[in-house]
A = this chain, B = another copy of it.
């Protein structure tokens, strides 16, 4: 492949002039400009992205760290990120950490600041120490789905009010008349879904419902299946299950089916996120939709601003007054009512406790 220098020689100009022409920078006369473009065409020169990136001290890709590419939410989110990134000519490197902070660190060490000029992080279970180290090396980091807008993480982020999402789910079930409910939390008690569950419990308390069953589960269809099945076997009188994510909610519907319960007649199920499978399941899943595409757009926009402003180098760790850590808040999650929720069936005649015999 011909080099920039060869193009310059062929056109009888300096490499800097070639670069200016290709990047529409500097002042170059029309004749010289045409000579350069002719040389580019004659030699079949293609601007070398990596070389250009190096020359400018930056790389033209964004890295998207995801915790599990096999979880269908992440491809949907990656698609939205990619579309947003392509509008500024960025390519997206998807780095899949498989929930492993060490793999995440390896990606950050190898990719961030070399092949990519910025890092987008979904809930990838990454160590904040590693993320701050990446930032300190001059590569901006944006957390894409911070779950608690009221408690900023100390890193640039896009926040979604996930506590509200849980509250909306709880209110929906209450309005339908449910009082005996179970919750499947797709993380550890103190984990990333804690805010969602808090919102759910807040809604119940506000309505005077002070008790509900809860199980913590793996954030998959199968995880939800196992948790729902155990919960329904322990308490057959549950009339509704709230899940902090759509995948376990889908598993809860499978568990109901296997136990001979009809959704929504015998059991209502509601999730959070609104992944494509929520729309495509039978019955279609009622859920609280998160503005995924909007969040992707905000995250890419914020990351680009940080890259442009050299936030990483100048802001953090400098001795001057600290630059405030930016946080963008998405629009609010919204209830999407589909076919998996309904009013609870009126209780069957309860057998009398005092036998007549």
Determine whether the beta carbon of A92 is less than 8 Å from that of B94. yes
Contacting residues, chain B, for A94 (C-beta < 8 A): 78, 92-94
With the chains together, A50 CA to B56 CA distance in Å? 13
Q: A50-B114, A282-B257 are in contact. Are A79 and B70 (CB under 8 A)?
A: yes
Q: Which of B76, B95, B254 contacts A91 (CB 8 A)?
A: B95
**A59 located at the interface, meaning its Cβ lies under 8 Å from any Cβ of chain B in the complex:** yes
Q: Which of A104-112, A153-161, A229-237, A324-332 contacts B (4 or more CB under 8 A)?
A: A104-112
Is chain A's binding surface mostly helix, strand, loop or mixed? helix
- Give A31 to B258 CA distance when docked, in angstroms: 69
Does A222 touch B at the CB level, under 8 Å?
yes
Give residues 261-288 of A contacting B (CB, 8 Å): 276-277, 280, 282
B82 touches A78 (CB 8 A): no
Residues of A58-100 whose CB lies within 8 A of B:
59-61, 69-70, 72, 74-76, 78-79, 82, 91-96
Q: Which residues of B contact A118 (CB under 8 A)?
A: none
User: Quick one: closest B residue to A64, CB to CB?
Assistant: B94
Which residues of B lie under 8 Å from residue A72 when comparing CB positions? Answer: 72, 75
Q: Are B107 and A91 neighbours in the complex by a CB distance under 8 Å?
A: yes
The size bracket of the interface on A is 35 or more
Query: Are B96 and A82 interface neighbours, CB within 8 A?
Result: yes
Closest approach, in angstroms, between the C-beta of A1 and any C-beta of chain B? 6
The distance from the CB of A75 to the nearest CB of chain B, in whole angstroms, is 5
Q: Chain B contacts of A110 at CB under 8 A? A: 49, 60, 91
Task: Tell me the minimal C-beta distance from A9 to chain B in angstroms.
Answer: 20
Docked CA distance A305–B109 (Å): 26
The one of B70, B82, B93, B276 in contact with A61, judged by C-beta atoms closer than 8 angstroms, is: B93
Residue contact A91 to B114, C-beta cutoff 8 Å:
no
A315 adjacent to chain B (CB < 8 Å): no
Given contacts A1-B113, A94-B92, contact A254 B276 (CB under 8 A): no
Report the nearest B residue to A1, measured CB to CB: B137
B-chain residues with CB within 8 Å of residue A276 when the two chains form the complex: 70
Q: Is the CB of B61 within 8 A of A115?
A: yes
The complex places the Cα of A61 from the Cα of B93 at a distance, in Å, of 10
Inter-chain CA distance A61–B221, complex, in Å, is 32
Q: Does A138 contact B (CB under 8 A)?
A: yes
Q: Which residues of B contact A113 (CB under 8 A)?
A: 1
A46 in contact (CB, < 8 A): yes
Q: Cβ of A50 and Cβ of B115 under 8 Å apart?
A: yes
Does A54 make an interface contact (CB < 8 A)?
A: yes
For residue A253, which residues in chain B have a CB less than 8 angstroms away from its CB? 282
| A76: nearest chain-B partner, CB-CB | B70
Binary contact readout A238-255 vs B (1 if CB under 8 angstroms, 0 otherwise):
000000000000110110
Is A48 in contact with chain B by the CB < 8 A criterion?
Answer: yes
Structural contact, A79 and B96, CB atoms closer than 8 A: yes
Known A1-B138, A91-B107, A280-B222; judge A115-B70 contact (CB<8 A).
no
* Listed A/B pairs (21) with beta-carbon separation below 8 Å: A46-B109, A46-B114, A49-B114, A50-B54, A50-B115, A51-B114, A54-B54, A60-B115, A69-B79, A72-B75, A91-B107, A91-B111, A91-B115, A93-B94, A94-B94, A115-B115, A222-B280, A250-B280, A254-B282, A258-B282, A277-B277
